Structure 1
Amino acid sequence: MMAKSYDVIVIGAGPGGMTAALYASRANLSVLMLDRGIYGGQMNNTAAVENYPGFKSILGPDLAEKMYQSSTQFDAEYGYGSVDSVTVGDDGLKTVVTDSETYETHALIIATGSEYRKLGVPGEDEYGGRGVSYCAVCDGAFFKNKPVAVIGGGDSAVEEGGYLSQMTSGVNIIHRRDQLRAQKILQDRAFANDRIGFTWDTIVTEILGDGQKVTGVATHNKKTGEDSQQSVDGVFIYVGNQPMTAPFLDLGITDEKGWIVTNEKMETKVPGIFAVGDVRQKDLRQITTSVGDGGIAGQEAFNYLQSLGD
């Protein structure tokens, strides 16, 4: 099968990928955005975005739709596909192989983001979709007037705990430390919410169920050594993210944890391959930072292609 050719291929259609596609296509380059799912990435799993300039508050899916309409206004194409591998030829041509097509490009922008990290405890996989969830917006409605646990202490855990408190009978945030890591404004809201409780210095050792659905969690207090159980109908897990970089590991562009290493121009160590957004080795992973990365990468991809003609 003959490979389809584009000036720029963007793998991933989250905020970083869509912005990169916007900038590259506005420079009159042929651009393909590839994603294995719907455009928007984790914005589609976010109830309300309150820290994106221009909007006091906006639903995550609504912001994703607005970004998509903007990113395709200069004829950037959007295609479904799960990337299996990327190879680089001696001439610098990049070949992208998906589950259904093969593509070629000289400029590749990786924007695959990250995915929710699992706890890795018994019962987690068994009860996935039957009480275990990583997305409050997706699954919160299934637990109306029922008790749920949220595992974690960062922004996502606390913010989504607040969202769940509006529909459940109560939310218990279980955190392995004695204080939250979330932004102070999110902490203040959670502490003021009488439908949210906290279990400190505690880890979940097992997710319990009756064979059909979740019935509770088994916990261990790290300070007292006490083991106990809590009865809940749902368990929402927010314990960090891991990069989605499996197809790119052979390129030698990641660190030991799988995050892609770039410079300030979003360039990796492979000429013509850029990375943006949550997949990068960086400290702050937000919609705003992904958009900034995408703008830089889109322009730098143009500069790189121009240099090939010099």
Structure 2
Amino acid sequence: MENNYDLIIIGGGPAGLSAAIYGGRAKLKTLVINKGAVGGLVNTTQELVNYPGYTKVHGPDLMKDFKNHAESFGVEFLKDEVIGGDFSKDEKIIRTKKGKEFSAPAVILACGSEPRLLNVPGEKRLRGMGVAYCATCDAEFFEGEDVVVLGSGDQAIEEGMFITKFARKVTVIVLHDEGILDCNKASAERAFENEKMEFIWNSTIEEVLGDENVEGVVVKNLKTGELTNLECQGVFFFVGMIPSTGFLKDSGVNLNEKGYIPVNNMMETNVNGVYAAGDNIVKYLRQVATATGDGATAAVAAERYIEEMSEFKTKVLQCNSKSLLLFMDPTVEKSLNFGTLLEAVIQDQGGEYKIVQVDISTKKTLAEKFDVKEVPSVVVLCNGEKLKDLECTMDKEKLAAQIIS
């Protein structure tokens, strides 16, 4: 079918594009579905200076290179919004806002996150022109200039202190009464001691000023209603991030209390065949460099999952004979010795059973499916249905008796 793929990636930011490159290179039929411009939040960054190999690169240009790289391996791109799907079966179903439906055995969720906007005049218009949301990404572009930070949580105060390494002065605008911050106590103490940081209390930003670049902000005192113009060349909004995972609400994929996706070191979610990468996962650092690593890991894990499930279908589910799934680890001598003994027993019985070896050092899905905890282990199957587990004894007669019974 036209809409059948090996791998579907939801999201076209650095994590999704990195996954696409690895998927395409593995000769998987790969589709990337992205609702906006390919590149995600990186498209709002005028210059990146901390991506390995580039002393300075225009954010959209870097993402264009990522996309071209993926397309060179035959990856397809679709501009559409995913609104839901069904992950309950081996073939995952993806549904889009334009009424299209796609299927694949593996899906990578790389839908990213968005800064929570204050939605004041000038904020969206001057985004990337002095309005910023990531100090690690953009602080050094304000060398020797005056910067305003809105927020008082851990992110706002800690990133505000990072900005002081570059800016002449950082003014922090806080909703609360004087001396009250929402961050941890240690960060608050360091911030109050920082000579480059000043605080405006009981206030918020009413407007961002400037034509082509930020020239200042309008500060509103929440108690008096007084409006004051404050000159600056940059303004950082730290009022939270929102992961773009709303469409996963009824999908079966676990989300934490903030909407982020928990994953393991293989980028696996709680659903077999569904992976997540980038800013929408629970993680320590959200940067382009970490997103690309997430995407690469997710794609390789997905490739191995697809290979494992395909092999299981062709060698077991589509086989009319009885099968023995031998779970083993080639680095464990006991596994190798038992495998040799099992083959000898089957040959003595005329080959009624077909042995299918599963190396759990690289293929873990089937081990989880059949609840295998140690190697060697043997599961007896008939037409793909489990009959029983064997006791993996090195006594040839006892082993043969188990198989016959």
Q: TM-score, normalising length from structure 2?
A: 0.60
Please give the alpha-carbon distance, in whole angstroms, between the structure 1 residues aligned to 2:203 and 2:132: 8
Larger relative contact order, structure 1 or 2 (CA cutoff 8 Å, min sep 6): 1
The more displaced of 150-159 and 259-268 is 150-159
Q: 1:111 to 1:191 in 2, by over 3 A?
A: same
Aligned counterpart, 1:145? none
Write the mapping of 1:3-152 to structure 2, written as runs, cut at 5 A. Answer: 4-89=3-88, 91-100=89-98, 101-119=100-118, 124=119, 127=120, 130-133=121-124, 136-137=127-128
SS in 2 for 1:21: helix
Cα 1:296–1:235 shift into 2, 3 Å: closer
**Residue 159 of structure 2 aligns to which amino acid in structure 1?**
A
Q: Which residue of 1 aligns with 2:164?
A: 187
Letter in 2 for 1:93: E
Distance apart, 1:163 and its partner CA:
8.6
The percentage of aligned residue pairs carrying the same residue is 30
- 3-state SS of paired residue (1:269): coil
Question: Which residue does 1:267 correspond to in 2?
Answer: 268
Kindly report which structure 2 residues correspond to 1:152-231, keeping only aligned pairs within 5 A, or say none. 154-155=135-136, 158=139, 162=142, 171-176=147-152, 180-182=157-159, 186-191=163-168, 199-200=198-199, 202=201, 204-205=203-204, 207=206, 216-219=218-221, 228-231=226-229
- The alignment status of 1:303 with 2:304, answered yes or no, reads yes
Quickly say closer, same or farther: Cα 1:198–1:228, change in 2 above 3 A: farther
Instruction: Specify every segment of 5 or more residues in structure 2 that has no aligned partner in the other structure, as ranges.
Output: 171-195, 209-215, 313-405
In structure 2, the CA distance between the partners of 1:58 and 1:85, relative to structure 1 (3 Å rule), is: same
Q: What is the Cα deviation at residue 218 of structure 1?
A: 1.2
Superposed CA offset, 1:186-208 (max 9, x none)? 42111379xxx964264644626
Structure-1 separation of matches of 2:290 and 2:45: 17
Residue identity opposite 1:187 in structure 2: T
Residue 159 of structure 1 and its aligned partner are, at CA, apart by 5.4
Contact 1:81 1:99 in 2 (8 A): yes
Aligned residues of 1:175 and 1:201 also touching (Cα < 8 A): no
What is the aligned partner in structure 1 of residue 336 from structure 2?
none
Q: 1:5 to 1:58 in 2, by over 3 A?
A: same
The 2-side partners of 1:46 and 1:215 are apart by 21
**Contact between 2:148 and 2:235, CA under 8 Å: does it hold in 1?**
no
Aligned residues: 275
Amino acid at match of 2:259: G
User: CA distance change for structure 1 residues 85 and 191 in 2, over 3 Å: closer, same or farther?
Assistant: same
- CA deviation string 1:191-248 (max 9, x = no partner): 379xxx9642646446269xxxx9823145xxxx887532269976343311000111
Counterpart Cα distance in 2 of 1:131 and 1:111: 29
Cα distance, 1:64 vs structure 2: 0.9
SS in 1 for 2:107: strand
Distance in 2, Cα, partners of 1:307 & 1:207: 56
The amino acid that maps onto 1:298 is A
**Post-superposition offset of 1:133:** 2.7
Give the distance between the partners of 1:260 and 1:82, measured in 2 at CA.
Answer: 19
Distance 1:8 1:152 in 2: 32
Q: Which structure has the larger Rg?
A: 2
CA distance in 1, matches of 2:137, 2:61: 19
Query: RMSD across aligned C-alpha pairs, in angstroms?
Result: 3.4
Residue 216 of structure 1 aligns to which amino acid in structure 2?
Answer: V
1:258 and 2:259 equivalent?
Answer: yes
Do the aligned residues in 2 keep the contact of 1:155 with 1:181 (CA within 8 Å)? Answer: no
Cα distance, 1:47 vs. partner?
A: 1.7
Are the aligned partners of 1:174 and 1:203 in contact in 2 as well (CA < 8 Å)?
Answer: no
Mapped partners of 2:41, 2:158: distance in 1: 20
Specify whether residues 153 and 261 from structure 1 end up closer, same or farther in structure 2 by C-alpha distance, changes over 3 A only.
closer
* Equivalent in the alignment of 1:242: 242
Quick one: which amino acid aligns to residue 248 of structure 1? L
Q: SS at the partner of 2:111?
A: coil
**Which stretches in structure 1 are left out of the alignment for 5+ residues?**
141-149
